[in-house]
Amino acid sequence: MLGPGKARLLELIRDSGSISAAGRAMEMSYKRAWMLVEEMNAAFQDPLVDSTRGGPGGGGARVTEAGLRVLALYRSVESTAARAATDEIATLLAMLRPVPDLG
């Protein structure tokens, strides 16, 4: 229903007021961005994004109050999980190969 990509899409729609601009920023087609918005809107009780069709005055999109709340909760879950997994993340990082210095 929501993951890092969809959360980023919501943030970009919030910041740009445009599904197409948000999709471009993520290097995806408008069709793909719109499909993800439709998936999110269908998954939640209230729509996360409200959009208006283009035309002479242009269209637009906005993240609804429900969308802003969902986004805030998602980012809070990410932060809580990262804090809880600090030791495991440090262990994983220590297991990585060193990155060669290209400079």
- For residue 81, what are its two tokens? 């999980």
Select the more confidently predicted residue: 1 or 91.
Answer: 91
The phi-psi region of residue 24 (left if phi > 0; otherwise alpha if psi is between -120 and 50; otherwise beta) is: alpha
Helix (H) or strand (E) holding 70: helix 65-84
At 25, list the tokens. Answer: 């920023």
Q: Report all structural domains of the chain as residue ranges with CATH numbers, in order of start.
A: 4-94 (1.10.10.10)
**For residue 57, what pLDDT is reported?**
64
pLDDT of residue 1: 87
**What's the pLDDT tens digit per position in 46-91?**
999 998 876 666 678 999 999 999 999 999 999 999 999 999 999 9
Model pLDDT for residues 29-44, shown as the tens digit of each residue: 999 999 999 999 999 9
d(CA 99, CA 101): 6
Which pLDDT score is estimated for 58? 67
